[in-house]
Amino acid sequence: MARVCDFWQKLNARGTAIETPEPWLNNFYRTHLRHLMVNCYKEIGSDRLHAHVGTFSYGFCPDESVMMISDLDRRGFHDEARRCYDSLL
């Protein structure tokens, strides 16, 4: 359990944060990164990622996935964004 917590804490520390007068908004922005990363499925046998907007049965929809990918890029996760864009190409 400690390794899992450490993984997510390091991931959050690596990305962009926002600071507003509303703590709930700051925390939401921070935790949304977990949603983005959990829903970027790694292609078997490849370095590519597929950004799925929904976690379970919702498919890969490029028009919606691009919003996730650009958010990753904006947050400083440029390599992950590139790997997602590679899937679209």
Q: What is the pLDDT of residues 70-86, one digit of tens each?
A: 999 999 999 999 999 99
The residue behind tokens 């590679």 is 86
pLDDT given at position 60: 72
The CA angle 59-84-45, to the nearest 5 degrees, is 85
Strand partners, 16: none
Please give the pLDDT value at position 55: 67
Residue 13's closest CA among 28, 30, 27? 30
Task: Please report the pLDDT score of residue 81 as a whole number.
Answer: 97
Instruction: Output the pLDDT for position 73.
Output: 96
78 alpha-carbon distance from chain centroid: 11
pLDDT tens readout for residues 19-72: 999 999 999 999 899 989 998 989 999 999 999 887 667 767 788 899 999 999
Report, in this order, helix, strand and coil percent for the chain, each rounded to 5. 60, 5, 35
Task: Say what the pTM is.
Answer: 0.85
pLDDT at 86: 93
